[in-house]
Amino acid sequence: MFLVRQGCIKPLCDLLTIMDVKIVEVALDGLQNILRVGQMEADREGGPNECAEYVEQCSGLDKIEFLQSHQNQKIYNKAFGIIQAYFREDDQPDIGPAIQDGQFAFGSGPASNQDFSFE
């Protein structure tokens, strides 16, 4: 965490836009290690992963998401793994249809009982 307090996250995130595959790979490895330590601290203290918040604040998440369309498979895999491990939103509402008795219940809400007129 010493490096995080010294401000290393923004420069690492800035390296994600370099065209050299090896530099991007090393930057992703560094960010992944920092995020892993941040997650261990968050789990221990019961709070959020501050390192993930720092990455988001310096537009690092946007850059990592963009790397999911990278032509190099290793870069894609690393970016995808980082997002899945540290930036997934588990508390997002379920926007799919409700399931009742093992079947989808489309239009089962209160609005579906109303008659509509398109005159």
52 residue type, one letter: A
Does the pLDDT value for residue 4 go beyond 70?
yes
38 residue type, one letter: G
Q: What is the pLDDT of residues 22-65, one digit of tens each?
A: 999 999 999 999 999 999 999 999 999 999 999 999 999 999 99
pLDDT of residue 27: 96
d(C-alpha 1, C-alpha 14), whole Å: 19
H helices within the chain, ranges in order? 2-5, 9-14, 21-45, 50-57, 60-66, 73-86
Q: What is the pLDDT of residues 53-96, one digit of tens each?
A: 999 999 999 999 999 999 999 999 999 999 999 998 755 555 55
